[in-house]
Structure 1
């Protein structure tokens, strides 16, 4: 351990499971990242694990999209958002465009849901430990590493990002308060005001991203979104993650701690407006903005079932993350859609793989037998009738 790391760790006071408020924001050097015992065999860390090419007519019915922007908010259940006077912008989007009214997270807590969106599995991750953690890690940001079924948090399996690269398509993650482009920080700033937290950055869990030579061009600050939109050089797939005071997660030091939904609604509205006012939104190419949440972590909102589409309360990859809202805003798609079909983030991944012309489905995203379906109604184009 370096002198710098020793000093930082000495100065930190960190309780188990609360690394997002820790004062160390630098990751240690990555240790051996070979797969660990406890990773479920249904989604191993092997680079070519469980890829399905079973394309259905519903998959073929998804139109081609040039741009998909995914905005992920935090920890609020469906009933806390839809119909709430505290979220007027989000409810207007849901009413005007498309609402998935029966959408679920996969697991608790946050991190594994972000991983599931990109890899089609949580790969055995059941905590918010840092992306470099592995079994028996002694790092302060790996507080659960002593557990016997602990999974390697660096994933070598194929992800959506690898699929995009193979297809010649582009991706980028926009993170508010990221300390620097390509940063591998765990939290930033230090202390209890950690506005950026890597547990909400599922990109970093994948080794191909960690090792990417162009990482500084792929993991960037939220300010880059405005620049990219103005230039018209936006990626085919992007995730947009606001800071913990703006994404409805909250921190003890957030000035809006008692108004998290109101603040999140306003901030999300600004991002959506920014995209919709850009030139790409008025082009003939199809573009979509997907607004989703990671999970519902409010015990008062928890009702059965907690998941869908392969949901198994005793399983390891989809034991349920609660009922959450997901809204699909399209520039040329149908309007006023409420789709009650059961969906989860695996469904969203499958739909993204269809919309971007990939047509191969990672892990649980390929589980048709478990009810994973493409979100056809929400991404469909209006039918033009001939006179």
Structure 2
């Protein structure tokens, strides 16, 4: 057989179709849970002996090997993830006056969807104080925006017992021990399995996503952080393209048909399919 241009093009069609299918957007998820942990470089978590559960999640889902935080220290990274901007914040000082700025929580509510932030050790729903025990406000970005109702700032104990009762998007922030900030990372790994292991299993069968990311690294690897996505339609495997918190925000906004906020408008969504 002589391979004419027409035959070559025809032979390539299955490959092209497969490539298109692999990069096609996922269906709109019923639920997205975003978990944010603290101050660990990529190789201190993914594949590390002390974090076997999170490493297993990375093998089961999309493991972003080139994910990076925006800056140091913690607080501006949380704001970037939630609003597409660091809002000019450059430190961890308690923000006593909320921003009047667009944010993911308000976007979801305005679109007829739902949002709730769950913070471990938050002393009471709607609490706006700077710190209480192992809770710190600097890791809780939704409390920093005036347009997000205080009633949606809830303690982790309010997380629904049935995963189908979750809001459209939930942020889950562990306390200073279970986010790897103050305690051994093995404690955080066990916490992740205990608190969200059943959700990770449930999400794949129920058109939902789990996103685990970190705010920043420990200052030793160019702000290289772990980021893993698991759930319905997510193709397991490593993703080598560079991504950041703005890409995560863009992914959630695209999933629900929301306009991208701030720097998320220039970010490429995470490649999940």
Q: Please indicate, yes or no, whether the TM-score normalized by the shorter chain is above 0.5.
A: yes
Unaligned runs of 5+ in 1: 1-57, 134-153, 190-194, 251-256, 307-321, 381-387
Deviation at 1:120, TM superposition (A): 0.3
C-alpha contact (below 8 Å) 1:60/1:354 kept by paired residues: no
Q: CA deviation at 1:334?
A: 3.5
Work out the CA distance in 1 between the residues paired with 2:249 and 2:54.
Answer: 22
Alignment of 1:80 onto 2:19 = no
* 1:228-283 deviation line (CA, Å, top 9, x unaligned): 24273210001101110111011xxxxxx4xx2111111012222132465x7633
Preserved CA contact (<8 Å) 2:101 2:145 = yes
The partner residue of 2:254 within 354, 366, 369 is 354
- For the residues of structure 2 that align with 1:235 and 1:350, how far apart are their CA atoms? 18
Instruction: Give secondary structure in 1 for the equivalent of 2:88.
Output: coil
Q: Is structure 2 residue 215 aligned with structure 1 residue 294? A: yes
Instruction: Compare the two structures and name the one with the higher helix fraction.
Output: 2
1:181 aligns with 2:115: no
Deviation at 1:335, TM superposition (A): 3.8
1:166 is matched with which residue: 110, 118, 124? 110
Do the aligned partners of residues 261 and 231 (structure 1) sit closer, same or farther apart at CA in structure 2, a change above 3 Å counting?
A: closer
Aligned counterparts of 1:350 and 1:290: Cα–Cα separation in 2: 13
Which position in structure 2 is the counterpart of 1:261?
185
1:120 equivalent in alignment to 2:84: yes
Q: How does 1:183-332 map to 2 (within 5 A)?
A: 183-189=127-133, 195-209=134-148, 212=149, 215-216=150-151, 218-225=152-159, 228-230=160-162, 232-250=164-182, 257=183, 260-276=184-200, 282-283=205-206, 286-296=207-217, 298-299=218-219, 301-302=220-221, 306=222, 322-330=223-231, 332=232
Shift of 1:178: 0.7
| 1:156-195 Cα distance to aligned partner (Å, 9 max, x none) | 1111111101110000011111100111121113xxxxx0
- Partners of 1:62 and 1:361 lie apart in 2 by 17
**Does 2:270 correspond to 1:375?**
yes
Distance 1:167 1:60 in 2: 24
TM-superposed deviation, 1:60: 7.5
Query: For 1:115 and 1:343, how far apart are their aligned partners in 2?
Result: 16
Report the Cα distance in structure 2 between the residues aligned to 1:230 and 1:63, rounded to whole angstroms.
22
Shift of 1:63: 2.6
Matched, 1:333 2:233: yes
TM-score by length of 2: 0.87
Give me the whole-angstrom Cα distance separating, in 1, the residues matched to 2:234 and 2:132: 40
Could you tell me whether the CA contact under 8 Å between 2:200 and 2:230 is conserved in 1? Answer: no
CA distance in 2, matches of 1:343, 1:323: 10
- The separation in 1 between residues aligned to 2:188 and 2:260, in whole angstroms, is 32
**Pair 262,231 (structure 1): closer, same or farther in 2 beyond 3 Å:** closer
Post-superposition offset of 1:345: 0.3
* Aligned mates of 1:281, 1:91 — CA distance in 2: 18
Change (3 A) 1:277 1:60: closer
Contiguous gaps of at least 5 residues in structure 2:
1-21
Judging changes above 3 Å, is the alpha-carbon distance between structure 1 residues 325 and 277 closer, same or farther for their aligned structure 2 residues? closer
Return the TM-score normalized by structure 1: 0.62
SS at structure 2 position matched to 1:207: coil
Paired position in structure 1 for 2:262: 363
- Matches of 1:60 and 1:179, distance apart in 2: 43
